[in-house]
Structure 1
Amino acid sequence: MSLRFIGIDPNTGDGESPTVWVDQDNGEIVIQGWKPSPELETECAAFEVPGHAVGIPEREQVVRVPARMAQMLREACDVVDRAHIS
């Protein structure tokens, strides 16, 4: 796996470190974030939209990242998009 570091929460000095990478081999965005509260996870698991099964599959997880990292997520999306265009 070839990870490209995109960014880390600018408030990481408080002992937390939500982080964004791009897996360049697989064209995937990798996110380290906070575990959701049980209430948020329950709400996400109960959410119903067409084509989405109710619940969270065993190999998936809900992850929270601060909104202040939005630009890093956009950058990660751009990196993945550019890799698929080339």
Structure 2
Amino acid sequence: MALWFIGIDPDSDDDHCPAVWVDTEAPHEPHLLLQGWLADEATNRECSKNSPRPDTEAVIRIPARMVALIREACDAAERAAELR
């Protein structure tokens, strides 16, 4: 597995570090990996109205201030896909 670390939430403390990576060797195409806060039960129920969640998935929260990091990860994933 080749993980390309993009960055962590610049405003997080040492115990809460939402982060973004790109897995450049994922099967079929690069994948984004997001670390965030687990959503609470009320949020999970609301999200399940649109997209049922199997046990292998989780709803997480990422602060909006990380949009630039997520965009950077998307660009990196696209570049990695072009290199395949």
What's the Cα RMSD here? 1.2
Match of 1:66 in 2: 63
Q: Which has the higher strand share?
A: 2
TM-score, normalising length from structure 1? 0.86
C-alpha distance in 2 between matches for 1:14 and 1:66: 16
> Per-residue CA shift, 1:21-48, capped at 9, x if unaligned?
011111100010001011111000112x
C-alpha distance in 1 between matches for 2:78 and 2:41: 33
TM-score, normalising length from structure 2? 0.87
Match of 1:34 in 2: 37
Match of 2:7 in 1: 7
Name the count of aligned residue pairs.
Answer: 80
Structure 2: unaligned runs, 5 residues or longer: none
Once the two structures are TM-superposed, the CA of residue 85 in structure 1 deviates from its matched residue by 1.7
Structure 1: unaligned runs, 5 residues or longer: 48-53
In structure 1, give the amino acid aligned to 2:5. Answer: F
In structure 2, give the amino acid aligned to 1:73. Answer: I
Structure 2 counterpart of 1:81, from 68, 78, 81 = 78
Match of 1:51 in 2: none
Off by >4 Å, runs of 4+ in structure 1: none
Q: Tell me, what secondary structure is at the counterpart of 1:60?
A: coil
2:52 is the counterpart of 1:55: yes
Identity of aligned residues (%): 43
